[in-house]
Amino acid sequence: MTRLDEIRAMEAELLLPTYERNPILFVRGEGVYLTDEQGEKYLDLLSGIGVNALGYAHPAIEEAIARQSRALIHTSNLYFHEGQAELARRLTIRTGLARAFFANTGTEAWEGALKLARAHAGLLRSEGKSIGTKFLALEHSFHGRTYGSVSTTHKAKYREPFAPVVPGVEFVRFNDVADLRSKFSNEVCAILVESIQGEGGIRPLSQEFFAEARALADSTGALLIVDEIQAGLGRTGTWCAFQHYGILPDITTLAKPLAGGIPLGAILCTEEVARAIHPGMHGTTFGGGPLACAVAIAVVDTIEKDNLLRNAAEVGEYFLAQLSSLATRHEAITEVRGKGLMVAAELDSPDLAKLTVAEMLKRRILINCTSDTVLRFLPPLILKREHVDTAIAALDEILTEHAAAFAGTQTAPKAGGHNNG
Ligand SMILES: *Cc1c(COP(=O)(O)O)cnc(C)c1O
């Protein structure tokens, strides 16, 4: 029995069966590579689902953890420490928002953002405005696993087993401006979007839809809340993906890469929204602790110092171009989408997508499949062109060998055209 077999057997007996893990036991990582217990190296194009933006064993992260863990790991939010305001300053400057609240995870940040929206609507009502408590969320959205988050997440599988979920949520068809207009009223306290849907299949909002959401919210005092947990912090080549649209939300949420793998989430909002919060209304024991903040400061400063926004934009553009060129040679690729290092290739068959992920794993390249047919790439922001070439060559080989067997099993018509936006 290998160590992996032992661990698998123990987990099968002892853990809630929430995950279908790939049968690999990783023991360390360096740069864009992970190493398993046999000493095999894997090219990681998923970076722990968009978390390890600086790759593995980055000296800036190691140094920040070592230094801060020797000094102070936790104090609670009953006292001051050196990190929160320093981190808040870095994030507000880069996003254009005014104030921060730190939570531990993405879903917690999102949960807090929803609470903030309801509290803000309450404040407006107390000032005589007519505004309700309803949320408009989008089809194919993903916002996390706690109650508010699953309530605003579209996929029924994540919501329905846990019913009744939080009431007052209506879903709008993705990028359907007419549907958004027809469902918006002064009953709505916030419109909820991801600039680029992540779990939903790397789907960018259209400029028109995003602008209409901003305008409708402005017309009543409702909030536009943008979830940047996956797309934010440099992944798309800007600090936040909403910056590509020139639209400023009232609230945004960050998490995944924020503290380089140490859990940390953030809510950022305007001064107007912050009026709704008073001491004691919201809080957390762990959120924004000294260790997580020190590491996040190191992450933000390293992204800046090492020009990783530019790297994400440039290598991402190359990645998308290479995928588009692959799509011209393989009918099975129906569309290529993304921005920066948040990219996807949609295939015409869920079985082929599954097989492709497995075949990539055999070639020691990590990617995943989201939304059934979408191959998703969320590599570390330190990725280089040579890594893209490795991945493209492997995909070419796999599709050449296997795509024919799946032709005709296709579930979606060829979308036509490759979106390089
Ligand atoms: C991952 C993700 C979340 C949830 O974050 P967790 O840290 O897993 O709770 C929320 N929104 C988006 C867009 C995400 O990608």
CA angle 108, 112, 117 (to 5 degrees): 150
Residue type, 244: H
pLDDT at 417: 40
Beta bridge partners, 36, equal 26
Considering only CA atoms, which residue is closest to atom 6 of ligand 1?
Answer: 106
**Average pLDDT in the 361-380 region?**
97
pLDDT at 234: 98
**Average pLDDT in the 317-327 region?**
98
The answer to whether residue 413 scores a pLDDT higher than 50 is no
Considering only CA atoms, which residue is closest to atom 11 of ligand 1?
Answer: 143
pLDDT at 404: 87
Residue 107 Cβ contacting ligand 1 at under 6 Å: yes
Residue 230 Cβ contacting ligand 1 at under 6 Å: yes
**Average pLDDT in the 377-394 region?**
98
How far, in whole angstroms, is CA 63 from its chain's centroid?
Answer: 26
Quote the CA–CA distance of 368 and 365 in Å, as a whole number.
Answer: 10
Distance 200 CA to ligand 1 centre (A): 12
How distant, in Å, are the alpha carbons of 79, 91, 106, 141, 342 from that of 98? 22, 9, 20, 26, 27
pLDDT at 407: 80
- Pocket test of ligand 1: the residue of 108, 143, 192 to mutate, having most ligand atoms within 8 Å of its CB, is 143
The answer to whether residue 416 scores a pLDDT higher than 60 is no
Residue 143 Cβ contacting ligand 1 at under 6 Å: yes
Quote the CA–CA distance of 245 and 190 in Å, as a whole number.
Answer: 19
Quote the CA–CA distance of 42 and 113 in Å, as a whole number.
Answer: 37
What share of the chain in percent tops pLDDT 70? 97
Distance 105 CA to ligand 1 centre (A): 8
Element (DSSP H or E) covering residue 137: strand 134-138
Residue 110 Cβ contacting ligand 1 at under 6 Å: yes
- Pocket test of ligand 1: the residue of 108, 142, 235 to mutate, having most ligand atoms within 8 Å of its CB, is 142
Q: The dihedral of CA 377, 382, 386, 390: what is its sign?
A: negative
pLDDT digits (tens, 9 = 90+) for 224-246: 999 999 999 999 999 999 999 99
| Confidence label for 1 from pLDDT (cuts 50, 70 and 90) | confident
Quote the CA–CA distance of 296 and 302 in Å, as a whole number.
Answer: 10
Residue 105 Cβ contacting ligand 1 at under 6 Å: yes
**Average pLDDT in the 145-170 region?**
97
- Is 12 in a helix, a strand, or coil? helix
Considering only CA atoms, which residue is closest to atom 15 of ligand 1?
Answer: 230
pLDDT digits (tens, 9 = 90+) for 65-109: 999 999 999 999 999 999 999 999 999 999 999 999 999 999 999
Quote the CA–CA distance of 275 and 283 in Å, as a whole number.
Answer: 16
Beta bridge partners, 227, equal 194, 253
Quote the CA–CA distance of 29 and 32 in Å, as a whole number.
Answer: 8
How far, in whole angstroms, is CA 101 from its chain's centroid?
Answer: 18
- Is 197 in a helix, a strand, or coil? strand
pLDDT at 410: 53
Q: Which of 260, 161, 255, 246 is nearest to 210 (CA)?
A: 246
User: Do 312 and 236 touch, CB atoms closer than 8 A?
Assistant: yes
256 CA closest ligand 1 atom index: 7
pLDDT at 419: 41
pLDDT at 68: 98
The answer to whether residue 421 scores a pLDDT higher than 90 is no
pLDDT digits (tens, 9 = 90+) for 36-76: 999 999 999 999 999 999 999 999 999 999 999 999 999 99
Domains of the chain: 3-57+308-419 (3.90.1150.10), 72-305 (3.40.640.10)
| Confidence label for 327 from pLDDT (cuts 50, 70 and 90) | very high
Residue 227 Cβ contacting ligand 1 at under 6 Å: yes
Residue 142 Cβ contacting ligand 1 at under 6 Å: yes
- Is 59 in a helix, a strand, or coil? helix
pLDDT at 408: 62
Higher pLDDT, 417 or 301: 301
Distance 107 CA to ligand 1 centre (A): 6
Query: Residue for token digits 């070592």?
Result: 66
pLDDT digits (tens, 9 = 90+) for 164-216: 999 999 999 999 999 999 999 999 999 999 999 999 999 999 999 999 999 99
Q: Which two tokens stand for residue 13?
A: 């007996």
Q: Which of 74, 73, 77 is nearest to 281 (CA)?
A: 77
pLDDT, averaged across the chain: 96
pTM for the whole structure = 0.96
Contacts of 249 (CB under 8 A, 6+ apart): 97, 214, 223, 224, 225, 226, 242
